[in-house]
Amino acid sequence: MASPQPLGYLRHFTSPGEPFDSMGISAPNLLAVSTENVCRHYQMGEALVRAVDGISIDIRAGEFVALLGASGSGKSSLLNLVAGLDRPTSGAVIVHGTDLAALSREQAAKYRLHTVGMVFQSFNLIPSMSLLENVELPMRFAEVDRRDRSTLARESLERVGLRGRLSHRPMELSGGEQQRASLARALINRPKLLLADEPTGNLDSRTGTEIMELLHSFNQSLGMTVLMVTHEQALAEKYAGRMLHLADGKLVDDVPTDHVSNISSEPVRAPWGETQ
């Protein structure tokens, strides 16, 4: 298998001199995600389940943030709210200045298509499609010209080391290869925000480390904001710049990790080498 090439992954989306923000990547120190006393409650029989219960957080553009907590702590529920897959019972979820609760169904679909990319524990690739077709799919919804889709999808898969697997179907691949393909698909429409729900949960430790290295590289080289759900504290400490600990639907701790922050005071360097 070819080695992954995360650096310069999005070069084909731009031309020299094109503003960095037009790639969907925001300048550092801007607010990417803000939740204001957000709640997600629902009834289960006679019981009221407080899946998310008054969480307020701010995440700057370019941060790599990990959500940690036991099963049922509200990690995935909060991620679904940020993804626009669910709506809050009360409070607000604001992503790059947009209040998600105010979006119509059509606007929410466009938000999920263009603003966020998602990587799931179970990969969520379509079994009957080849990898190339799976990665092309978001571009079909985005109405990218048919002549461009195949070229862009091929380049995306090559960047994550899958040049020789373009015609393979998901079940013909290892778990790590499937997760690489899901990463290529998540990034194909240049999202501002990458959401990862237990991206290493179905992988062995070596393959999980490879996926985390890719996520970290996209965050560092492109300034892409990453919000990741994980139950593995060691992974969070190694790769994230910040750890948010949840319990019973509440934020109980907000801890920076020991390594250097992902946000640099230096000018952002675009993938083609020009400082923006």
pTM: 0.78
pLDDT band at 29 (very low <50, low <70, confident <90, very high): low
DSSP structure class, residue 162: -
The tens digit of pLDDT for each residue in 129-149 reads 998 888 888 787 777 777 788
Q: Give me the residue spans of the domains in the chain.
A: 11-24+61-86+104-256
227 or 178, greater pLDDT:
227
Handedness of CA 223, 229, 234, 235 (dihedral sign): negative
Please state the rounded mean pLDDT for residues 113-133. Answer: 86
- CA atoms of 22 and 13, how far apart (whole Å): 9
Q: Has residue 272 got a pLDDT over 80? A: no
The residues near 10 (Cβ < 8 Å, ≥ 6 apart) are 23, 25, 187, 190, 222, 271
Q: Report how far apart, in Å, the C-alpha atoms of 25 and of each of 62, 193, 243, 260 are.
A: 8, 8, 22, 21
Q: Which CATH superfamily is domain 11-24+61-86+104-256 in?
A: P-loop containing nucleotide triphosphate hydrolases (3.40.50.300)
DSSP class of residue 249 equals: T
Rank 14-23, 24-33, 59-68, 258-267 by mean pLDDT and report only the highest. 59-68
Mean pLDDT of the chain: 81
Considering only residues 206 and 68, tell me which one the structure prediction assigns the higher pLDDT: 68
Q: What is the pLDDT of residues 170-219, one digit of tens each?
A: 899 888 888 888 888 888 878 889 999 988 887 888 888 888 998 898 88
Helices (H) and strands (E) in the chain, counts: 7, 10
Q: Is the dihedral of CA 148, 149, 154, 160 positive or negative?
A: positive
Question: HSE of 233 in the Cβ direction (CA atoms, 13 Å)?
Answer: 7
